[in-house]
A and B are shown apart, each in its own frame.
Chain A
């Protein structure tokens, strides 16, 4: 629904969200495609807020691991959902920042009065992964397809070698450095002297916080069971420092290696969606407003030639956004720092506390300072829930909006998400 009024700015409201429980890779959702999961998630949101047959301003979502046939993944999902088929949609992709970036895009259009309502979301599967044919084989097949004569065809086929049958499997690695994301994070962990024990402590807290949130019903109106899962499959309520201490490091090398499969997020499958709207639209529909989307900021670092850590971009985005809003890092009631790796969260906070780093790299007179840990990821985060790349932003936005709403009016929440390619997305919500 296009707005007829002239562009003005207003704060987009977060009405609520829905996600499916996150599954471990090659498990419960092994047979589900990105489109299956995103459609199920949209339909859950439709059911929760009575959106059946409604035309929304737009649906914005994306997937990080996406097959080329899914070029219009979000639009296809909308067409298969119970939303009106005349709801426009488009895909975005900013690695692990996809979900939050989608929310910023929808919130901005609402803020400008271009739309009255919209859904931001994301989905990813590491099970139903888009294998591609080997690049050499791909070239042979293209030549074969273009061949006009039998001779041309034979010549094209002559280029075929059996080794070309090996498919190209998507890897969680940086194309330019060839390093896995975990290996990059391990370099940063070493630079910032992040210890094994503090990483394991953060991990245990994530599991315990998420388990407690489930137990008190926090996710009852944020989640729809899917394919036999009603809680995140990776969640280990009985996680302990002792158990985590037994794991061998998987990223980094030698004595100083601290990052294990426990204090790193596992590969996972899942989807999330958040309903945003103008206050007027929400009121007209009789829907609640949990919080408002105040601002968002992205940043990027040169991890290839510039010597900055791959996952450190949110550190740079934060002071820009805080200054624009006249806020300090301490002016928040809840902090949601995406736990790509426990070490990433710890390095991020350490960087904000470091006077030399804040002066030299961020150009600040004083460090941003420390965060009250009791306000950090209070309902668990990616280490416990899992991290289907593009689905994490929607999970965090919906959960944080609900936390702020529960805490009462005038509360502020901060989101920080690191992403592949040396990028980061941060945002402010307010009740």
Chain B
């Protein structure tokens, strides 16, 4: 771990995710060592209204003037990808699984606020099935942090450095028996979200490309499922909140899934997304006011 906070490298534009996936795949072998101390940043990023409305539609979120909790991830994820695809990153990106995502909205963010983004990697941890790493992101407006996130990725079979802490990818939730909604998720859900998010990871695009990476069928993007959960709770969420979800078994496309919700306290929720038939758990999470 780097001792002092390093200077961050400022990018002028968002990196192209397709190119980064290609680069990450081509340079997958021969990686190792500790996490790089690199921080990547972008300044004065303005949300594109066309992109925002396309995102709202694909995630079934209402189109308004405040960013949904998951939207800033659209801005920070390409920077995190740039970090992970770089040769200095110790884990190979193909095979990396998004295991947990925690987002904190410190105050409602208007769609027209210029935003400063910064991302970095930390917390190289060990897990019984491999190693895990946290990709962090912070978003500021006018010099004040308004949003932050931690995406924990799991690399099966990889090894964390000696003495690394245990990875924490569990999100405990209470009883969740009541189904609030049933969603029929079509087989092109991955392609539709990929088009908007730029996350063209082949495991989401088609059965064939998913098989190449060991999945039976294409799988839904976890962050899309998370966004849809927030869409289902629109109007019933606090302004400032933490949404913490664990991505469990992959959601194979197409599927019919059930969203279960339970109110916790005045403004909080526990949620789960499960397969309607078998009950396989795809996502469990908590939503808590700050």
Contacts and interface: CB of A to CB of B under 8 A. Distances in A.
Given A31-B57, A82-B235, A85-B236, A39 B64 contact: yes
B63 A33 contact: yes
Contact of A35 (B50, B62, B111): B62
Contact of A226 (B57, B65, B236): B65
Interface string B27-55: 00000000000000000000001100110
Given A31-B50, A31-B53, A227 B63 contact: yes
Contacts of A31: 49-50, 53-54, 56-57, 63
A40 interface: yes
Interface in A186-238: 225-228
Contacts of A83: 235
Contacts, number: 43
Nearest to B267: A53
Interface string A117-159: 0000000000000000000000000000000000000000000
Interface in B50-96: 50, 53-54, 56-57, 62-65
A31 to B, nearest CB: 4
Contacts of A225: 65
- The listed residue with most B CB atoms (<10 A of its CB), out of A31, A32, A228, is A31
Interface residues of A, number: 18
A225 B64 CA distance: 10
Interface residues of B, number: 15
B74 to A, nearest CB: 16
A225 B56 CA distance: 18
A232 B3 CA distance: 55
Interface in A43-92: 43, 79-83, 85
Contacts of B57: 31
Given A79-B235, A80-B234, A85-B236, A227 B49 contact: yes
A384 B278 CA distance: 58
Given A39-B62, A43-B64, A226-B65, A32 B53 contact: yes
Contacts of B111: 227
B112 interface: yes
Interface string B1-33: 000000000000000000000000000000000
Counting from the closest, the 8 A-B pairs by CB-CB distance are: A31-B53, A36-B63, A80-B235, A80-B234, A81-B235, A40-B64, A32-B63, A82-B235
Interface of A: 31-33, 35-36, 39-40, 43, 79-83, 85, 225-228
